[in-house]
């Protein structure tokens, strides 16, 4: 399932609900920090469980896809990529949503799954193959009716925005329109928690 939040003309797609789960993860983190203060024996447990909570939040809650009127922001755990509609060449939905940019670059969105139920999707794929359906579609060919997966629904939304904006993609796009930056804080916190978890486990074993 993918949750959609609308902020004016901006659409935000998230795999899970960001605000309540972030509050819950924060509360759990506070408890895990305070636990070894009262009893140092729980240090290894707190650090290990804290790492698990952080990884779940970082990989399942933090990623999102933000669709504006003329650009898309793909925020994954460790990187964020922004590109204009003019740089977009197509959209493919497999296990995740992939944006195909001019020049052959591919941007994968961790927040939007392509298949939620592999068994059901296998049957749908068989039916689709028998009827001549192509699982990978160009943005211009997408219609609302063809959006059978979360990835397809996001792709259809982008197709509608392209139609409304009247984007001229032929001969305009420059692969340089895509800007990728590293989420330094996410990497630093992950490495720190991994180091603390290893140190805590090693200390507990000794």
pLDDT tens for 164-189 read 665 454 444 454 578 999 999 999 99
- Confidence (pLDDT) at 173: 44
Query: Taking residues 9-28, what's their average pLDDT?
Result: 92
Locate 75 and state its tokens.
């925020």
Per-residue 3-state assignment (H helix, E strand, C coil) for 39-90: CHHHHHHHHHHHHHHHHHHHHHHCCEEEECCCEEEEECCCEEEEEEHHHEEE
Place of tokens 């074993």: 205
- Closest CA relative to residue 142, chosen from 96, 97, 91, 98: 91
- Confidence (pLDDT) at 48: 87
Asked if 61 and 110 count as a contact pair (C-beta separation under 8 A), the reply is: no
Per-domain residue ranges for the chain?
2-204
Single pTM value for the model = 0.77
> Whole-angstrom Cα distance, residue 191 to residue 189?
6
Query: Taking residues 106-116, what's their average pLDDT?
Result: 80
Q: Of the spans 4-18, 87-101, 192-206, which averages the highest pLDDT?
A: 4-18
Asked if 61 and 156 count as a contact pair (C-beta separation under 8 A), the reply is: no
- Confidence (pLDDT) at 144: 39
């Amino acid at each position: 399932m993918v949750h959609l939040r609308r902020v004016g003309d901006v659409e935000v797609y998230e795999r899970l609900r960001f605000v309540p789960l972030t509050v819950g993860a924060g509360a759990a983190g506070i408890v895990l920090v305070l636990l070894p203060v009262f009893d140092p024996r729980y240090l290894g447990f707190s650090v290990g469980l804290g790492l698990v909570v952080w990884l779940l939040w970082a990989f399942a809650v933090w990623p999102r896809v933000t669709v504006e009127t003329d650009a898309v922001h793909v925020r994954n755990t460790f990187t964020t990529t922004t590109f204009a509609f003019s740089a977009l060449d197509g959209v493919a939905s497999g296990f995740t949503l992939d944006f195909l940019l001019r020049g052959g670059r591919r941007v994968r969105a961790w927040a939007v799954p392509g298949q939620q139920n592999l068994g059901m999707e296998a049957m749908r794929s068989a039916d689709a193959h028998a009827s001549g359906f192509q699982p990978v579609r160009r943005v211009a060919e997408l219609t609302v009716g063809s959006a059978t997966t979360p990835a397809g629904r996001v792709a259809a939304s982008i197709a509608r925005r392209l139609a409304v904006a009247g984007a001229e993609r032929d001969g305009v796009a420059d692969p340089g329109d895509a800007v990728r930056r590293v989420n330094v804080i996410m990497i630093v916190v992950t490495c720190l928690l991994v180091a603390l978890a290893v140190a805590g486990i090693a200390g507990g074993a000794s």
